[in-house]
Amino acid sequence: MSSGNIQCERRGDGVSLCVALLVAVAMLGGCARLPYTTKTLHQDRRVVINAQEELDRPGYTHPATLSRSEVAAILAGLSTREQQRLPLRWFAEEVPPKAIFRADEIEVLAPYLAEALTKVGPDERVHFEVIAPGLNPSMSKDSLGGWVAVRDPYLYLSLEYFHVQVPIRTTDLYDYNYPTPPPLAKDYLVYFEPGRFWVTDQKGRRGVNYRAFLQSAPTTNGPGRELRTPAGTP
C-alpha cells in the first residue's frame, strides 16, 4: 500500500470519526436498557428490597396486598434448577429442582416482600436479595436474588442469583485496579408445588395462580414459626 493511499484513508479525519461514533452511540442510547432501581424500600445486612422500573410497561396490578404469611406460603412452594446453556442442555443430566428459599430465608424475606408489594406501582417490580456471608466474607457475599411481581391472579418470580458469590466491592480486594462487576444473572427454571397452581398466563409467562393457591392452602409456616414484624412497620 502506498503512503499516498494511506494518507487519504488515514485520518478519515480521526476527530470526525470519533464524533460520528459518539453520535451513533447516543442514538443507540435508548435501545439497550435494563430495568432500573427507582427506590430502595428496605436495606439491612440480610435483606435488600428495591423497586425496579420495567421498561416495557408490564401493567402489573400493584400495589398488591398480601399478608406476610401468604407471601411466606407462596415462597415455600417455589423451587428451581439452573438452566444449562445450549448445547449442554441437550446432553447434560438434569439436576433435580431445589427449594429456592430455606425456612430462615423465608422468615426474613417474606415480611419485607409483602410490605414492598404494597408500595410499588404498576410498572414496577420488587427486586429482592437475601444476603449471607460469602466464602471469603471480606470479598464476597452469598446472594439469593431475583424479583417478584403481581398481575392478578398471578404472582411472578424470576430468580437471578441462587446462592451466588457476589463481590461486595466495586474493585478487587487484592488487585486494587481490577473492577469486580457482579456476575451476570443466571438462567434458572422456576417451579411451584403444588404444580396445578404453576400456570401460564395469557402472555405466555409462568406464574403462581396465587389466588387459587391461597384459597386452598394454609398460610402459616407451622407452629413456632411465626413471622416477625419488620422493623419500623406498625
Partner 1 sequence: MEAEIGMTGMARVLAKPSVPGNATIWSIRLLCSLGSLLIFFQTIPAAAVESGRLVEKDGKYVFVESMDPAVQLMLDRSLKSGLITQEDYDRVQRESEMRTYLLQPSYKAWYDRGFNFSMNDNAFLLKIRARLAIRYTQRERNDAWRVGDSKNYPELLGVFGDYRANRSIDEGSSFNLKRMRLYFMGHLISPDFKYYIQLAGETAENAQNPGAMSVLDANVQSTHIPWLNVQLGQYKVYFNRSQINSTAAMQFTDRSLASEAFTASGLNRRDTGITIMNDEEVYPVNYYFGVFNGSGPLVNRFAQFTSEEPTQGCPGGQTGGNPFPSPATGCPINQRNLNANYRSSINQLMYAARLQWNIMGRAGYGEGDIAYSESPQMVVGGGYAYNPAINTSTDNAFVGIDLANLNFRRQMATIGNARILGQGVVDLSTWTLDYALKYRGFSFQSEFWFRQVNRHNKGLPCVQTLTQGGACTTFAPGQYGNMTGWMVQSGYYVIPRKLELAARYTFWDPDTNSGGDLIKQVDVSLNWFLFGTYDHQIMVTYSNVAMGMGGFAIGRSAPLPAVGNPALAASFPSGNVPLDQGQQTLIENAIRIQYQLFF
Per-residue buried b or exposed e for 24-62, using 16+ beta carbons within 10 Å of the residue's own CB: eeeeeeeeeeebeeeeebbeeeebbbbbbbbeeebebeb
Q: Using an 8 Å Cβ cutoff, are 90 and 113 in contact?
A: no
By the rule CB under 8 A, 6 interacts with partner 1: yes
Pick from 86, 87, 178, 234: which binds partner 1 (CB under 8 A)? 178
Taking the complex as a whole, the smallest distance from the CB of residue 199 to partner 1 amounts, in Å, to 28
Among 86, 177, 216, 234, binds partner 1 (CB under 8 A): 177
Q: Which of 17/200 has CB closer to partner 1?
A: 17
What are the two backbone dihedrals, phi and then psi, of residue 202, each rounded to the nearest 5 degrees?
-65, -25
Size of interface with partner 1, in residues (CB under 8 A):
67
Distance spanning both ends of the chain, measured CA to CA: 78
DSSP H helices, the chain, are 3-9, 14-28, 68-76, 88-91, 103-117, 210-216
Least distance in angstroms from the C-beta of 231 to partner 1: 4
User: Between residues 7 and 215, which has the closer beta carbon with respect to partner 1?
Assistant: 7
Other beta carbons within 10 Å of 71: 27
**Interface with partner 1 includes 40 (CB under 8 A)?**
no
Span 58-87, contacts to partner 1 by CB under 8 A: 82
Q: Which residue ranges make up the site for partner 1 (CB under 8 A)? A: 1-3, 6-7, 9-12, 14-15, 17-18, 21-22, 24-25, 28-29, 31-34, 36-37, 44-46, 82, 98, 102, 104-105, 107-108, 132-138, 140, 142, 163-165, 169-184, 223, 228, 231-232
